[in-house]
Amino acid sequence: MSEVTFRLAYLGEDAAIVRFINRHFDMRLPLVNRPEFYHYYYAGRGGVPQFAVAEQDGQYLSAAGYVLANTSSRPDVWVSIWVAVKGHNGVGLELMNALPELTHARVLACNNIRAATCAMYRFLGWKAERMSHYYRLANLPQYRLAEPGPKVILPVTGARVLKLVPTAADLIPLGMPKTPHTPRKDLWYMMRRYFHYPHYHYDVWAAMNYGRSDAYLVTRTVTPQETGSAAVLRLVDYIGPDELLPQLGRAIDSILQQAGAEYIDCYNAGIPTRIWNAAGFVEREPGDGVIIPNYLSPPLRENTEYYYFTSEPDNFVIFRADGDQDRPNLPAEQ
């Protein structure tokens, strides 16, 4: 029996990898079985599948799909799918450990891991934690979706305005803002993720400064038709310096009011709670009695906890829309 080989997938290997995943994962995944999702997430530039595999004697033992945050020669990478043959979880862990070198990634991360697997990633020397959940209520007499307990609406300040970016082409002259955060997202990523996504519509807002953008804030509105009662605003990404976020507090509150939404919420790790508080957001903590529903179509009146890992925690920031998250719950087959 030969040694296990760890490598990136070859051109034309897509179908074999999908068959392997379907055979060994505990459910049929829409991500690989719906053509629009597979093409969006894993059909890499030039058509080479964005997968790495562990192989022995011509047979797969493990496979991992990944998503790029930028087009640099050393990209930041989110792990998306990870599966191993039963009895070969150790090989799967070795493949995960090999991914940074295989993909030449500066940062390897994953959004929405299982809480029980955090210890495994910590074993590799990586950080694995719960994502914080922040929200800001609209000032309403009652709420149909949220259960806020004692209503807390923090004051907001800041004179900076947010301008809606209408199209992907309008991003180009605005450029990317300076930020210490990783993963580093480029214009290719922004256009692809928020203007060319196959299902959801996103609003990209720019904090303008002499024709350039100092920050981008991305929201998605869930309509009353989708929830059956009230609109909700999701803040799914922020790209910019921490200190600018509180200066956008009034602008964010204005977007919330214009949307007629019951609340705006945001899952995030990496930006300090004091920054979110200064921007007008309250942190929902486990056991505090507050319910800010995450699943809205149809609504499920309970909280959802998300966990993540990163290989490089310094300056690392993660949001709801990172990796393969913030996608509709669709069946595996069209």
Q: How many CA atoms lie within 13 A of 243 on its CB side?
A: 2
pLDDT in tens, 140-191: 999 999 999 999 999 999 999 999 999 999 999 999 999 999 999 999 999 9
Confidence of residue 46 (pLDDT cuts 50, 70, 90): confident
Confidence of residue 280 (pLDDT cuts 50, 70, 90): very high
- What does the pLDDT read at residue 73? 93
Q: For residues 267 and 220, give the distance between their C-alpha atoms in angstroms, rounded to a whole number.
A: 13
- CA dist 43 and 34 (Å) reads 13
Q: Give pLDDT, residue 154.
A: 98
Q: Is pLDDT larger for residue 207 or for residue 45?
A: 207
pLDDT value for 288: 95
d(CA 28, CA 25) in angstroms, rounded, equals: 7
Residues 197 and 236 sit within 8 Å (Cβ to Cβ): no
Which two tokens mark 53?
A: 């595999």
Tokens, residue 121 = 């990633």
Residue 139 — very low, low, confident or very high, per pLDDT cuts 50/70/90?
Answer: very high
Single pTM value for the model: 0.96
Helix, strand and coil content of the chain, in percent to the nearest 5, comes to 30, 30, 45
- Residue 276 has phi, psi (to 5 degrees) of -65, -40
Percent of the chain surpassing pLDDT 90: 96
Q: Report the distance separating Cα 283 and Cα 260, nearest Å.
A: 22
Go through the domains of the chain in sequence order and give each one's CATH number. Answer: 5-129 (3.40.630.30), 132-304 (3.40.630.30)
> Is the C-alpha dihedral spanning 286, 249, 190, 312 positive or negative?
negative
Contact status, residue 93 vs residue 101, Cβ threshold 8 Å: no
- The tens digit of pLDDT for each residue in 296-327 reads 999 999 999 999 999 999 999 999 999 999 99
Tell me the per-residue pLDDT of 6-31, one tens digit each, with 9 for 90 and over: 999 999 999 999 999 999 998 999 99
- Per-residue pLDDT averaged across 237-254, rounded? 98
The answer to whether residue 334 scores a pLDDT higher than 80 is: no
Helix (H, G, I), strand (E, B), or coil: what is residue 63? strand
Region 248-265: mean pLDDT is 98
pLDDT tens-digit series, residues 91-138: 999 999 999 999 999 999 999 999 999 999 999 999 999 999 999 999
pLDDT score at 45: 82
Does the pLDDT of residue 1 top 80, yes or no?
no
What pLDDT is recorded for position 331? 92
Q: Which of helix, strand or coil describes residue 227?
A: helix
pLDDT value, residue 208: 95
Two structure tokens written together for 189: 């990523």
Cα dihedral: 182, 330, 199, 75 (round 10): 20
Residue 333 has pLDDT above 90, yes or no: no
